[in-house]
Amino acid sequence: MTHAADTCRAPSPTGCAAHTRLYRGGQLVAAGFPVAEISDHLAVPGSVIWLDLLQPSAQDMEVLVEEFGLHPLAIEDALHEHQRAKLDRYSDHDFLAAYAVRVCDGAEGLLETGELAAFLTPQALVTVRKTELVDLEPLLQRWDAASPLAHSGVAYLAHGLLDHLVDGHALAVERLDDEADDLEDLLFDEDAQRTGELQRRSFSLRKDLTRLRRAVLPMREVVAVVVRPGGPFADEQMGPYFRDVDDHVQRAVEAIDGLRDVLGTLLDTNLTLASNRLNETVFRLTAWAAILAVTTAVTGYFGQNIPFPGSQQQGGFVASTVILVLSVGGLYLFFKRKRWL
């Protein structure tokens, strides 16, 4: 079976994998054409190009400079990892840095993030994937499903890209929300408390939530710039679609803030329960210590090596035994009624 990503893979003079698509007049007219032909296609009025590069080197990025005349600072940001999600505006193009998020349930946590850079020019969208985690297949399917919007050119491609990324963020939020629900169930599970499972999963959830927040929170500013009236992308046709993406981003941010509150409550409740269990243990130890103190006092008194009433007599043994049993039984019932035992 041939996948959409395979059909748009292009011969490239660069050392990295490249994918290409050509739209003209709102129609997909070519895919997988050589990167060297980009200039010829851009010379035709009404042409819109999508070019994707996977983990390019500095030499590979020279192709972008030659074909599109991109700013050196934007090229530098596209090559360097751990960029903050942002949208930089230059005179003739825009630079986008963003993160894709995928649910993985791996040893390092529930989520994986992959960095993506994109250049948006009047005639082209150039994506630079810094990791294979950013999958092209769902992105291409999203573009194909919204093909009637292709008349909007780069705005149509930009919307598909942002919508794909934001939907991934929403799925990640849902997964973390489910994990928080599971932790609430474990909160009163003594086995989970004893084995440390609750603490381990809570720590993992906190790391994932921090990672997701770093990817999602700056996207609110990115999409806000895109939907701003008079911008180059939110035209009359695409404006409602970008506002829908903005709504999804806002909901994701609100959900993350809510999850942070839930996680904080879980941790506080866990500490409170641990303190309560410690108090109960101290109460039990105090009660047993009091009982043992009485037995020690009685046996110590009747074990003296000097004469006392009942010394070396059967009555003394009976009296000491009765006192011992009554004092121990009375203290046990007293502490039991106080729920210390």
DSSP string covering 218-258: THHHHHHHHHSTT-SS--TTTHHHHHHHHHHHHHHHHHHHH
The two three-digit tokens of residue 256, written as one number: 């993350």
Mean pLDDT of 43-52: 93
* Angstrom distances, CA of residue 298 to CA of 93, 288, 314, 326: 92, 16, 16, 11
Phi, then psi, of 163 in degrees rounded to 5: -65, -40
Residue 105 clears pLDDT 50, i.e. is over it: yes
C-alpha dihedral, 174 to 177 to 183 to 185, nearest 10°: -90
The per-residue DSSP string of 120-141 comes to E-SSEEEEEESSTTS-SHHHHH
What φ, ψ does residue 314 adopt, rounded to 5°? -65, -35
Are 147 and 262 part of one and the same domain? Answer: yes
Q: Where is the domain boundary, 220, 243, 273?
A: 273
- Both tokens of 272, joined, read 């409170």
- Asked if 187 contacts 263 with a C-beta cutoff of 8 angstroms, the reply is no
Q: With pLDDT > 70 as the criterion, what percentage of the chain qualifies? A: 88
Are residues 149 and 286 part of one domain?
no
pLDDT at residue 302 tops 80: no
Judge whether 163 and 87 are in contact, CB under 8 Å.
no
Q: How many domains does the chain have?
A: 2
Q: What is the CA radius of gyration of the chain?
A: 35
- Both 109 and 192 in one domain: the answer is yes
Residue 155 confidence (pLDDT) above 80: yes
Distance CA 196, CA 190 (A): 10
pTM of the shown model: 0.79
Beta bridge partners of 97: 86, 117
For the cut 60, the answer to whether the pLDDT of residue 1 exceeds it is: no
Percent of the chain at pLDDT exceeding 90: 43
Query: If you average pLDDT over each of 63-72, 149-158, 316-325, which comes out highest?
Result: 149-158
What pLDDT, on the 0 to 100 scale, is given for residue 158?
A: 94
Pairing of strands 109-120, 94-106: antiparallel
The predicted-structure confidence for 187-246, as pLDDT tens digits, reads as follows 877 776 667 788 888 889 999 999 999 999 999 999 988 888 766 676 778 888 999 999
Same domain, yes or no: 265 and 278: no
- Domain encompassing residue 279: 274-337
Amino acid at the residue 115: E
Residues 285, 142, single domain; the answer is no
Summarize pLDDT for 236-289 with one digit per residue, the tens. Answer: 788 889 999 999 999 999 999 999 999 888 888 888 877 877 888 787 888 888
Sign, CA dihedral 308-314-317-323, equals: negative
**Taking all residues of the chain, what is their mean pLDDT, rounded to a whole number?**
85
Residues 52 and 176 reside in one and the same domain: yes
The CA distance from 254 to 266, in Å, is 18
Same domain, 89 and 200: yes
Question: Is 240 in the same domain as 100?
Answer: yes
- The answer on pLDDT for 290 being more than 90 is no
Report pLDDT for 300: 73
Beta strands in 67-123, from DSSP E residues, in sequence order: 86-89, 94-106, 109-120
Per-residue confidence (pLDDT) for residue 7, from 0 to 100: 64
For residue 108, the model assigns a pLDDT of 67
- The confidence score (pLDDT) of residue 187 equals 83
Question: Residue 14: pLDDT band by 50, 70, 90 thresholds?
Answer: low
Domain co-membership, 305 together with 248: no
Q: Which residues pair with 31 in a beta bridge?
A: 21
Are the CB atoms for 33 and 9 separated by under 8 Å? no
Contact 173, 212 (CB under 8 A): yes
Is pLDDT at 29 greater than 60 in this prediction? yes
Q: Which residue has the higher pLDDT, 168 or 277?
A: 168
End of a domain among 273, 301, 317? 273
Same domain for 254 and 328, yes or no, is no
pLDDT tens figures, 50-69: 999 999 988 888 878 878 88
Question: Can you give the CATH number for the domain in which 97 is found?
Answer: 3.30.460.20
Per-residue confidence (pLDDT) for residue 253, from 0 to 100? 95
Tell me which of 273, 295, 313 is where a domain ends: 273
Contact criterion met (CB below 8 Å) for 298 and 327: yes
- Tell me: do 206 and 88 sit in the same domain: yes
Which band of pLDDT confidence, cut at 50, 70 and 90, is reported for residue 331?
Answer: confident
Asked if residue 120 and residue 227 are part of one domain, the reply reads yes
